[in-house]
């Protein structure tokens, strides 16, 4: 049985994407992270019993920035972990090839603490669902709160974020691209036209 070769993610990124708008710029991103950090501190009455876990890849970078900002504000080091949700995704049978799984690194007990789960974009809610499942396999946190940089709508599951950097209403033909220094060489959030094959 022959079939078309699996789509290579790198190739699709390299394709010309039509940028419609720069929604957040470098400075804006910095301010948004600061606000999110403050909201987290405020809502949890400090940072005594919280931990921050970022979803690979960009969620982890945002989470790391939040941890740094909180340290600046509160002079306290919040436990920080990275979650790889590849194995919890619900589209396993639909994919042609397996993505590379990476190690999950949560070097602390999550039982009975408040975990702030951090991701870059909240869209259908499926990634967050997978992240919740993955997290639950590590123990029983007192609560899980969800922090996202961008909420672009179009939920397919009953999931909402507790902390939202920016709500960006999008049409289905659009996509939100979060670009971070750590992974993309720049800090900004772009509204782009979705490449056809992704739809």
Provide the binding-site residues for another protein, judged by CB under 8 A: 1, 3, 6, 84, 86-89, 92-93, 95-98, 100-104, 133-134, 136-139
Output 125 or 165, the one with its CB closest to another protein: 125
Q: What gap in Å lies between CA 53 and CA 116, rounded to an integer?
A: 6
In the complex, the smallest distance separating the C-beta of residue 91 from another protein, rounded to whole angstroms, is: 10
Helix (H, G, I), strand (E, B) or coil at 86: helix
In the complex, the smallest distance separating the C-beta of residue 49 from another protein, rounded to whole angstroms, is: 19
Q: What gap in Å lies between CA 139 and CA 115, rounded to an integer?
A: 11
Q: What gap in Å lies between CA 143 and CA 168, rounded to an integer?
A: 27
Output 30 or 89, the one with its CB closest to another protein: 89
- Alpha helices for the chain (secondary structure H): 9-14, 26-43, 58-74, 126-136, 181-184
Output 103 or 198, the one with its CB closest to another protein: 103
In the complex, the smallest distance separating the C-beta of residue 174 from another protein, rounded to whole angstroms, is: 29
In the complex, the smallest distance separating the C-beta of residue 102 from another protein, rounded to whole angstroms, is: 6
Question: Is residue 148 packed enough to be buried (19+ CB in 10 Å), middle (13-18) or exposed (0-12)?
Answer: buried
Output 1 or 15, the one with its CB closest to another protein: 1
């Amino acid at each position: 049985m022959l079939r078309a070769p699996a789509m290579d993610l790198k190739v699709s990124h390299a394709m010309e994407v039509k940028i419609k708008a720069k929604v957040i710029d470098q400075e804006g991103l910095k301010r948004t992270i600061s606000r999110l950090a403050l909201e987290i501190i405020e809502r949890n009455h400090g940072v005594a019993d919280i931990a921050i876990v970022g979803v690979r890849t960009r969620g982890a970078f945002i989470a790391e920035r939040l941890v740094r900002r909180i340290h600046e504000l509160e002079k306290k080091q919040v436990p920080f972990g990275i979650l790889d949700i590849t194995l919890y995704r619900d589209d396993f049978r639909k994919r042609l090839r397996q993505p590379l799984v990476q190690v999950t690194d949560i070097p602390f007990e999550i039982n009975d603490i408040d975990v702030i789960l951090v991701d870059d974009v909240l869209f259908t809610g499926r990634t967050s669902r997978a992240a919740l499942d993955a997290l639950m396999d590590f123990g029983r946190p007192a609560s899980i709160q969800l922090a996202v940089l961008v909420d672009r709508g179009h939920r397919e599951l009953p999931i909402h974020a507790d902390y939202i950097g920016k709500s960006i209403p999008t049409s289905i033909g659009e996509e939100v691209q979060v670009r971070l220094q750590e992974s993309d060489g720049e800090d900004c959030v772009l509204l782009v036209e979705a490449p056809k094959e992704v739809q």
